[in-house]
Structure 1
Amino acid sequence: MKMKNVSITEVNADNWYSCCELTLAHEQQSYMEPNAVSIAQSKFETSLRPYAICADGQTVGFLMFNSVPEELDAYWIYRIMVDRAYQGQGIGKAATKLMLTEMADSFGAKKVIVGYHPENAGAHQLYASLGFEDHGHRFGKEMAVMKQLPD
């Protein structure tokens, strides 16, 4: 899939290590597990789909979602991150749009949820700009926001 110069591609033998080398800003590190942990998790929870985010052909981010509905009868986004050197360029938003299209087209997702720490202002801004809404769902320390996808 491609949107402008941003694309997403399934994690594979050619890009998995590049995904593991990506880093977040220091203040963001407490918000999510390292990409290597997520990739390992996907090998044991086989409904998880890990993807590399590329811009101009270079791996600049990572995302992962579940390909089957879970809590609240929704498809969940597990991870989305853009390397600290590439943040603030619209890559995360473009990749999220591509991911939502992939979730709908390949897996029939109609309702998508993502959980994040309430103090993660960047995540809040991103998901709100994409039409995710807070319906008061909380899971541990995370809030969960929801988006209905068009038919």
Structure 2
Amino acid sequence: MQIELRPVTNENWEACCALELTTEQQGFLEPNVYSIAQAGFEPALVMRAIYAADELVGFLMYNTEREELDGYWIYRLMVDRRHQGSGIGREAMRLLLVEMQQLPKVACIVVGYHLDNQVAHRLYERLGFVDYGDRFGKEMAVRYTF
């Protein structure tokens, strides 16, 4: 399956807002409409729509400025509930890591997620993110280093 990351635009932002998580996942992420609004006020945030074979299936957002742990942070990754479990999230993250390697002086990518989100934990672990024990409230942060 061909996975692509495309910009969030006037043509697809509403469809990004309509993407859904499973009931169990809804407490783990902010709604996409919140993320899109946040990016409107924080110019360092970059949004991407995840497409599989020209169908919008997910959303992600990352920061282009270094933050805590001296890393660039991935703020959001979500795949619509109807498309989960097919490797889309893993492939989207691989593409995102390639894109983020182009950021200035990148050495570390950080992603935070809810402590109870075992699906996210397994995904990031498989991709090579390492848990060094960093915690921010109800979230843990894991790091990917180049």
Superposed counterparts of 1:2-151, under 5 Å: 5-149=2-146
* Deviation readout 1:35-59 (Å, 9 max, x if unpaired): 0100000010110001100000011
TM-score by length of 2: 0.97
Measure the CA separation in 2 of the matches of 1:109 and 1:87.
30
Call closer, same or farther: CA 1:44–1:124 in 2, change over 3 Å. Answer: same
Report how many residues are paired.
146
TM-score by length of 1: 0.94
**Deviation, structure 1 residue 107:** 4.6
Q: SS where residue 69 of structure 1 aligns?
A: coil
**Deviation, structure 1 residue 108:** 4.6
Measure the CA separation in 1 of the matches of 2:31 and 2:5.
19
Identity %: 51
Measure the CA separation in 1 of the matches of 2:113 and 2:85.
19
Measure the CA separation in 2 of the matches of 1:55 and 1:86.
9
Call closer, same or farther: CA 1:107–1:5 in 2, change over 3 Å. Answer: farther
Q: SS where residue 97 of structure 1 aligns?
A: helix
Call closer, same or farther: CA 1:107–1:62 in 2, change over 3 Å. Answer: farther
